[in-house]
Amino acid sequence: MSFKEAVQNPYSPWMDDAAPETDVVISSRARLARSLADFPFPHHLSPDKAERVIQRVALAVRETEFSARFGDTEMVRLAELTPVERGMLVEKHLISPDFVMRNHASYQYKGLALTADERLSIMVNEEDHLRIQCLYPGLQVTAAARDADEADTLLEETLDFAFSDRIGYLTACPTNVGTGLRASVMLHLPALVLLGRVKDILTAASRLGLTVRGLFGEGTESVGHLFQMSNQVTLGMSENDIAKNLDSITRQIIEQERAAREQLREQMPVVLRDRVSRAFGILRHAYVLSTDEAMRLLSDVRLGVGMGLIKGVAPRLLSELMVKTRSTYLAKMSGRQLSPPERGELRARVVRQALGNISADDGE
């Protein structure tokens, strides 16, 4: 099992660019919230019961049927990981930021089961006893939902989940009750932001039962033009309908973003080319970079790569740099907490090393 690998390597398979629609959709996720019957929810749990929850799930993922489908899956407690290692798992989107907060349960009773391919992770004693999560590259919401469903079915062989025939799977927060399914996509929408259209589209999505938020920063002023869109409602809709609804609205947004990109290419070709090439130049030659600047420039380069204006740079490299330019990774790299000026310098070096040697063709 590769927990060491997972906390060391900034690359995760969800960054793979050989997946559907990766020019706009970076990744797709399905998350199921499940509670064990006969146990209070995690924030109400005594240490010995929290321990029993973690042991039951550890046994369930070791069942032969489960490992036959998902591979060897080992349970690690957050207490066994260093703060930097926990941070790496957050930056790689394998666990939620909430999970590493000191709430609900102590690190000793918070567990993580992770498959070797990092596609399936199960957080134990987060807000609910289990958070089963599947993460795929590109637009693969239905595949992610199907995998999470399979994992749930296999776990249910040995675990008794709290369920009511009227309101479905019972969760600590009433916003998750029913299917417990939160399906989401990470979108890169630079052209819609540049043309000032992103607000309208996001408002429309919210009318269709979806929530959109900036991945870094709040609201529509998302740093790096990254947005996370997910279903709002978990009760009264089937899992299939939730996934399909998200999938079809995402497809419409993909079309809008692509049209906006073509509009930029036609109406302001020089401005566009200047923007992406300038970003690429700064990233390749800067000696100091702040987090925000790095995120912004990486977004512009991604746009250039997606439109064929910059050749020779793999999108997966840019996704990996999104993790590598975070403070957590820089701290892990240097083995200590860095001062802000030190971070800025190391961040620029990491980016130069990743992009500097690429004999990129600017398409001219």
Partner 1 sequence: MICERCKQQPASVHYTEIINNQKRQMHLCEACAKEAQKAFEAGPTLNLKHFLAGLMGPAIAQETPTDARPFRCESCGLTEEMFGKYGLLGCGECYRNYERLAPLLRRIHGSTRHTGKVPQRSRKKYRWVQEVERLRAELQEAVEKEKFERAAELRDEIRALESRLT
The reply to whether 163 sits near partner 1 by the rule CB under 8 A is yes
The reply to whether 102 sits near partner 1 by the rule CB under 8 A is no
The reply to whether 137 sits near partner 1 by the rule CB under 8 A is no
Which amino acid would we find at residue 133?
Answer: Q
The reply to whether 221 sits near partner 1 by the rule CB under 8 A is no
Count of chain residues binding partner 1 (CB under 8 A): 39
Region binding partner 1 by CB under 8 A among candidate stretches 19-27, 176-184, 247-255, 302-310 = 176-184
CB of 149 to partner 1, least distance (A): 7
Q: Which of 13, 20, 40, 363 binds partner 1 (CB under 8 A)?
A: 40
3-class secondary-structure state, position 157: coil
The reply to whether 178 sits near partner 1 by the rule CB under 8 A is yes
Which is nearer to partner 1, 118 or 239 (by Cβ)? 239
Contact present, 216 and 224 (Cβ < 8 Å): yes
Determine the Cα–Cα distance for residues 51 and 224; give it in Å rounded to an integer.
40
Which is nearer to partner 1, 172 or 189 (by Cβ)? 172
Which is nearer to partner 1, 221 or 266 (by Cβ)? 221
Determine the Cα–Cα distance for residues 78 and 128; give it in Å rounded to an integer.
16
The reply to whether 141 sits near partner 1 by the rule CB under 8 A is no
Sign, CA torsion 138/141/144/147: negative
Determine the Cα–Cα distance for residues 53 and 350; give it in Å rounded to an integer.
41
The reply to whether 149 sits near partner 1 by the rule CB under 8 A is yes
Contact present, 142 and 248 (Cβ < 8 Å): no
The reply to whether 172 sits near partner 1 by the rule CB under 8 A is yes
Question: Which residues, 6 or more positions from 243, have their beta carbon under 8 angstroms from its beta carbon?
Answer: 30, 141, 142, 144, 145, 181, 183
Which is nearer to partner 1, 169 or 227 (by Cβ)? 169
Q: Which of 65, 117, 160, 292 binds partner 1 (CB under 8 A)?
A: 160
In the Cβ-directed half-sphere of 299, how many Cα atoms lie within 13 Å?
A: 22
CB of 291 to partner 1, least distance (A): 17
Conformation bin of residue 46: beta by default, left when phi > 0, alpha when psi is -120 to 50: beta
Cβ count near 329 (within 10 Å): 23
The reply to whether 153 sits near partner 1 by the rule CB under 8 A is yes
Q: Which of 27, 35, 115, 256 binds partner 1 (CB under 8 A)?
A: 35
Determine the Cα–Cα distance for residues 247 and 26; give it in Å rounded to an integer.
14
Determine the Cα–Cα distance for residues 79 and 86; give it in Å rounded to an integer.
9
Binding mask 235-274 for partner 1 (x = CB under 8 A): xxxxx-----------------------------------
CB of 90 to partner 1, least distance (A): 20
Contact present, 353 and 345 (Cβ < 8 Å): no
The reply to whether 173 sits near partner 1 by the rule CB under 8 A is yes
**Angle between helical axes of 269-285 and 291-306 (0-180°, round to 10):** 130
Helix locations, the chain, DSSP H = 3-8, 47-62, 64-70, 83-91, 141-155, 190-194, 198-207, 239-267, 269-285, 291-306, 315-324, 327-334, 340-355
Q: Which of 85, 147, 152, 320 binds partner 1 (CB under 8 A)?
A: 152
The reply to whether 228 sits near partner 1 by the rule CB under 8 A is no
CB of 360 to partner 1, least distance (A): 34
The reply to whether 157 sits near partner 1 by the rule CB under 8 A is yes
Q: Which of 5, 8, 18, 43 binds partner 1 (CB under 8 A)?
A: 43
The reply to whether 167 sits near partner 1 by the rule CB under 8 A is yes
The reply to whether 127 sits near partner 1 by the rule CB under 8 A is yes
- Residues forming the site for partner 1 (CB under 8 A): 35, 37, 39-41, 43-44, 127, 149, 152-153, 156-157, 160-170, 172-175, 177-179, 181, 233-239
